[in-house]
């Protein structure tokens, strides 16, 4: 059974469920801009519609909200008291879908990086930027052009 939520709150929730253009996502894009612009957003033709995709490099970045995607952290463990079965089921479905998306990407030869909302904190930008750069730029190119 669906919880009773006012319309405005519901549409805010649905935006959050879709996870589009959230503050954590914007923070990641801002960091990526500095060293790897040219990404595409929410490409429908890439499994899971990654928040950020480098199509040529076959690299996808997902920015996951800890609650919605069931992260193993304090924020992810936060369980609403009301309608807890509803949320548990919803989050379990999100997790299952995430796993399917990662598998589908791997099948197509894509690499994927998941950045959790809780990893984006004031003061942690440098570490996150290094991680993003390593993922996007320093990945071993399969059979580089020297071949």
50/76 with CB nearer Zn ion: 76
In the bound complex, what is the minimum distance in angstroms from residue 67's beta carbon to Zn ion? Answer: 8
Interface with Zn ion (CB under 5 A): 66, 71, 73, 75-76, 116, 118
5/99 with CB nearer Zn ion: 99
In the bound complex, what is the minimum distance in angstroms from residue 112's beta carbon to Zn ion? Answer: 17
In the bound complex, what is the minimum distance in angstroms from residue 115's beta carbon to Zn ion? Answer: 10
53/119 with CB nearer Zn ion: 119
52/115 with CB nearer Zn ion: 115
117 contacts: CB under 8 Å, gap ≥ 6: 22, 24, 63, 64, 65, 66, 71, 75
In the bound complex, what is the minimum distance in angstroms from residue 24's beta carbon to Zn ion? Answer: 10
- As a whole number of angstroms, the distance between CA 116 and CA 109 comes to 23
Long-range pairs, 15-21, Cβ under 8 A, ≥24: 16/65, 16/68, 17/68, 17/90, 17/94, 19/51, 19/63, 19/64, 19/65, 19/68, 20/51
In the bound complex, what is the minimum distance in angstroms from residue 37's beta carbon to Zn ion? Answer: 27
110/116 with CB nearer Zn ion: 116
> DSSP for 61-75?
EEEE-TTTTT-SSHH
């Amino acid at each position: 059974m669906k919880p009773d939520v006012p319309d405005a709150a519901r549409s805010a929730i649905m935006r959050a469920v879709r996870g589009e253009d959230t503050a954590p996502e914007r923070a990641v894009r801002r960091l990526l801009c500095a060293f790897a612009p040219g990404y595409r957003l929410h490409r429908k033709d890439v499994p899971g519609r990654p928040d950020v995709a480098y199509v040529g490099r076959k690299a996808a970045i997902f920015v996951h909200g800890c609650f919605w995607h069931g992260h193993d952290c304090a924020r992810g463990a936060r369980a609403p008291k009301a309608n807890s079965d509803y949320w548990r089921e919803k989050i379990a479905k999100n997790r299952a879908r995430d796993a399917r998306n990662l598998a589908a990407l791997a099948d197509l030869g894509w690499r994927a990086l998941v950045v959790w909302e809780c990893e984006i904190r004031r003061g942690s930008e440098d570490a996150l930027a290094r991680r993003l750069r390593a993922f996007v730029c320093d990945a071993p190119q399969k059979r580089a052009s020297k071949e």
